[in-house]
Amino acid sequence: MNTLNKETIHPVYLHLGSNLGDRLRYLLKAKFLINKHIGHIKTLSEVYETAAWGKTDQPDFYNQAILVITQLTPAEVLTEIHQIENILGRNRKPENHWGERTIDIDILFYNNQIINSPSLTIPHRHLQDRNFVLIPLCEIAPNFIHPVLGKSIQELRKLCADDSEVKKCE
């Protein structure tokens, strides 16, 4: 990983999802802990409801995109995310990879960095394939350019083949 100056701030786009228990409460708790342990939440999308993707025989998800300003490195952000997920009861066992979860937090982008390591891939490798990620992200960062694909989030949204319904929560 790159060594970063701890005085520098970095924009990090995160995606939050929850489909167990009080989904809105888990999103709220996650944002509180992100703000406390990772950095200042600068902006956030509305909350959207979508059917589960991948393993579909489970409750619908609430999803939200947020922009966080942090001084942490990408690896430190990932460590904090795993701790937050653990605090909020996330089951990270391999057999539950696509299963139900109280909270799921993914790093979508960290600055314009490209990271491919065994423990961390940035940008998130599937974000361009998923409406439930692109629609909230497009709300807060429509003109952000994907550093690998060279297209804006708005362009990726238009090109996305995923036709699953993503509806704004009231």
pTM beyond cutoff 0.85: yes
User: Looking at per-residue confidence, does 92 or 27 come out higher?
Assistant: 27
For residue 157, the one-letter residue type is R
**3-state SS, residue 67:** strand
Model pLDDT, residue 126: 87
**3-state SS, residue 152:** strand
Is residue 25 annotated as part of the catalytic site, yes or no?
no
In this structure, of 21-25, 51-55, 82-86, the range with the lowest mean pLDDT score is 51-55
Is residue 106 annotated as part of the catalytic site, yes or no?
yes
pLDDT band at residue 55 using 50, 70 and 90 as cut-offs: low
Q: Which tens digit of pLDDT belongs to each residue from 60-111? A: 899 999 999 999 999 999 999 999 999 998 766 555 555 678 899 999 999 9
Is residue 22 annotated as part of the catalytic site, yes or no?
no
Is residue 23 annotated as part of the catalytic site, yes or no?
no
- Cβ neighbours, 10 Å, residue 167: 10
Of the listed 23, 90, 130, 157, which one is catalytic? Answer: 90
What are the distances in angstroms from CA 78 to CA 6, 15, 104, 157? 16, 13, 12, 26
Model pLDDT, residue 74: 96
User: Looking at per-residue confidence, does 51 or 156 come out higher?
Assistant: 156
Q: Find tokens 């909230």 and name the residue.
A: 136
| Domains with residue ranges and CATH for the chain | 10-168 (3.30.70.560)
Examine the pLDDT at 6 and tell me if it is beyond 60. Answer: no
Model pLDDT, residue 52: 77
For residue 14, the one-letter residue type is L
